[in-house]
């Protein structure tokens, strides 16, 4: 088995995995996007395919008014007696919710709310008597005590009714680092192991462990916590933490976890946000020891064109509403038609369909017909952090506007092209890095950033490059949200047609 890293590239934080009948299933967080909680599958832990999503109907997530940065946090996937379970926090909304399905492809249930869980990052396990245990991070998300943290806590629950049977009880507050979170509880031999994240989800992130003879505690800390962290190193994968363990058929133990791939001379900016990685875990004297997370991206370039048939595949995302509610695939078969609602990419619910950027070097293109409206191509972190290129049909030509928006600052560039379909491109290219020659100020500043994003438009034989913008502002370290780059198509006004969505990516 070769552990490719990233295991699941792009905006895929907070992974959890389970092995069922020879197939691994993995889920990640989605925050304000729908559909929520992608489900990936693999039979060899190397090649992964998205087979569906857990939250596909509005009533499951109730994300219509989800605050950016809140929403769907840190799912855990488990399997018992022929049923798949996903337990998750919908922060700022439904709270702790358990979804069930007979098949990981779905359909998944509407979700059972567990009212007795006051916290985030829930885990689901069962004791020897079959009682369901929910272990979670005791971060208060509402009321007068909002922001208060009570460490790792646990309740016994009835998964038929959502009733709390016992607890909450305090289990462990970690090794002294901030934000003990992301607990997962495992039975191995005579011991119950409690694995958590601590240190915050930024550069101090890490994984620590404790154990007990009883799943309800008390727990003794491991002798070498944290057992995994990249803090204060120059490893190419940073922020490593929020791990979940899965056993392989041949007796190995693997950990899936989140991390980032920062670029720039000081490894300062992570354009793609938090991705899913994996590493191997060995057991010494009854304690897990994790190997450092090694960078090993898949070889070769990726070239794909998404054509618009009768149904969108599960990789498309929209903001606070299902993609199918926006995508008109019937007006012009083979093309996507979006109908503007008078809102742009700064709106809470823009008319936008996007996909995760999967590579640090990437080009996305589409051909747009804006003769009856205004629309374009955008790369988004959140409402305040978005780069876009917009086309408006006007008389015998088209007006092209490129816009770079970061909190409190907006810059635009304008050009015109002949009438007709317009090809739009957004290109993300890495900085040059260290150069052997003497550096100018411009060279020095360029090599410090993650990448540069170029805005390009073409109509017929005429092409314009409107701008080349520093990409560091669209990164995990500068954007306020916990997501990553999502690139997609949008409409502002009128009716806008899109012919294909072309993506090329490279790990160079």
Q: Do residue 437 and residue 308 come from a single domain? A: yes
* pTM for the whole structure: 0.95
Q: Do residue 122 and residue 190 come from a single domain? A: yes
Q: Do residue 239 and residue 320 come from a single domain? A: no
- Give the H/E segment covering residue 91: strand 83-91
Q: Do residue 177 and residue 325 come from a single domain? A: no
Among the three residues 246, 280, 312, which one is the final residue of a domain in this structure? 246
Q: What is the DSSP string of 400-451?
A: EEEEEEETTEEEEEEEEEESS-EEEEEEEEE-----SSPPPHHHHHHHHSSE
> Which residues lie closer than 8 Å to 497 by C-beta, 6 or more apart?
331, 332, 335, 336, 337, 368, 369
Q: Do residue 365 and residue 478 come from a single domain? A: yes
The CATH number of the domain where 483 resides is what? 2.60.120.200
Q: Do residue 179 and residue 327 come from a single domain? A: no
Q: Do residue 62 and residue 183 come from a single domain? A: yes
- Give the H/E segment covering residue 289: strand 287-290
Q: Do residue 123 and residue 240 come from a single domain? A: yes
Q: Which residues are 347's β-sheet partners?
A: none
* Within-domain flag for 442: yes
The CATH number of the domain where 140 resides is what? 2.115.10.20
Separation CA 476–CA 356 (nearest Å): 14
* Within-domain flag for 367: yes
* Within-domain flag for 399: yes
**Containing structural domain, residue 74:** 16-246
How long a stretch of residues is the chain? Answer: 508
- Long-range residue pairs from 282-289, CB within 8 A, at least 24 positions apart, any chain: 282/253, 283/253, 286/191, 286/211, 287/209, 287/211, 287/222, 287/223, 287/224, 287/227, 288/193, 288/195, 288/209, 288/222, 288/227, 288/245, 288/253, 289/224, 289/227
Among the three residues 213, 231, 246, which one is the final residue of a domain in this structure? 246
* Within-domain flag for 450: yes
Separation CA 412–CA 344 (nearest Å): 14
Among the three residues 221, 246, 271, which one is the final residue of a domain in this structure? 246
Q: Do residue 69 and residue 216 come from a single domain? A: yes
* Within-domain flag for 291: no
Q: Do residue 69 and residue 176 come from a single domain? A: yes
Q: Is the peptide bond before 82 cis (omega within 30 degrees of 0)?
A: no
* Within-domain flag for 267: no
- Give the H/E segment covering residue 361: strand 361-382
Q: Is 381 helix (H, G, I), strand (E, B) or coil?
A: strand
Q: Do residue 240 and residue 323 come from a single domain? A: no
Q: Do residue 365 and residue 493 come from a single domain? A: yes
* Within-domain flag for 261: no
In order along its 508 residues, the chain shows pLDDT tens digits of 789 999 999 999 999 999 999 999 999 999 999 999 999 999 999 999 999 999 999 999 999 999 999 999 999 999 999 999 999 999 999 999 999 999 999 999 999 999 989 999 999 999 999 999 999 999 888 888 888 888 999 999 999 999 999 989 999 999 999 999 999 999 999 999 999 999 999 999 999 999 999 999 999 999 999 999 999 999 999 999 999 999 999 999 999 999 999 998 889 999 999 999 999 999 999 999 999 999 999 988 999 999 998 899 999 999 999 999 999 999 999 999 999 999 999 999 999 999 999 999 999 999 999 999 999 999 999 999 999 999 998 777 899 999 999 999 999 999 999 989 999 999 999 886 655 566 677 677 788 899 999 999 999 999 999 999 999 999 999 998 899 999 999 999 999 999 999 999 998 7
Q: Count up the domains in the chain and report the number.
A: 2
* Within-domain flag for 222: yes
């Amino acid at each position: 088995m070769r552990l490719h890293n990233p295991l699941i590239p792009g905006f895929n934080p907070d992974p959890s995995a389970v092995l069922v009948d020879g197939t691994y299933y993995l889920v990640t967080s989605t925050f304000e996007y729908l559909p929520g909680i992608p489900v990936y599958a693999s039979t060899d832990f190397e090649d992964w395919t998205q087979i569906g999503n857990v939250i596909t109907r509005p009533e499951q997530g109730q994300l219509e008014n989800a605050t950016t940065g809140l929403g769907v946090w840190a799912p855990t996937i488990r399997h018992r007696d022929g049923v798949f379970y996903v337990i998750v926090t919908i922060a700022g909304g439904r709270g702790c919710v358990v979804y069930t399905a007979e098949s990981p492809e779905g359909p998944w249930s509407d979700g059972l709310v567990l009212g007795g869980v006051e916290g985030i990052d829930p885990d689901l396990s069962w004791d020897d008597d079959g009682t369901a245990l929910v272990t979670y991070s005791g971060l208060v998300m509402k009321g007068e005590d909002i922001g208060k943290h009570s460490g790792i806590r646990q309740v016994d629950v009835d998964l038929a009714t959502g009733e709390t049977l016992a607890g909450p009880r305090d289990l462990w507050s970690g090794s002294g680092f901030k934000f003990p979170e992301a607990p997962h509880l495992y039975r191995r031999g005579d011991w119950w192991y409690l694995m958590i994240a601590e240190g915050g989800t930024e550069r101090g992130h890490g994984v620590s462990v404790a154990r007990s003879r009883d799943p309800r505690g008390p727990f003794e800390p491991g002798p070498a916590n944290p057992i995994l962290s990249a803090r204060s190193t120059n490893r190419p994968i940073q922020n490593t933490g929020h791990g979940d363990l899965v056993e392989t058929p041949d007796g190995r133990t693997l950990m899936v976890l989140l991390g980032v791939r920062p670029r720039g001379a000081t490894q300062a900016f992570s354009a793609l946000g938090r991705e899913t990685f994996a590493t191997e875990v060995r057991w010494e004297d009854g304690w897990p020891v994790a190997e450092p997370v090694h960078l090993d991206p898949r070889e070769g370039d990726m070239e794909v064109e998404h054509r618009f048939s009768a149904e969108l595949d599960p990789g498309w995302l929209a903001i606070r509403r299902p993609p199918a509610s926006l995508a008109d695939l019937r007006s012009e078969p083979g093309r996507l038609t979006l109908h503007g609602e008078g809102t742009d990419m700064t709106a809470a619910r823009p008319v936008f369909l996007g996909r995760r950027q999967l590579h640090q070097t990437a080009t996305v293109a589409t051909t747009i017909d804006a003769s009856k409206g205004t629309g374009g191509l955008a790369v988004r972190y959140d409402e305040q952090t978005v780069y876009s290129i917009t086309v408006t049909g006007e008389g015998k030509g088209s007006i092209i506007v490129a816009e770079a928006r970061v909190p409190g600052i907006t810059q635009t560039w304008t050009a015109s092209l002949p009438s007709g379909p317009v090809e739009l491109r957004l290109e993300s290219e890495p900085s040059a890095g260290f150069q052997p020659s003497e550096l100018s100020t411009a060279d020095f500043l360029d090599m410090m950033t993650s990448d540069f994003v170029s805005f390009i438009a073409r109509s017929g034989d005429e092409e314009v490059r409107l701008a080349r913008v520093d990409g560091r502002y669209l990164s995990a370290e500068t954007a306020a949200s916990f997501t990553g780059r999502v690139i997609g198509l949008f409409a502002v006004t009128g009716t806008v047609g899109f012919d294909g969505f072309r993506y090329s990516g490279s790990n160079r």
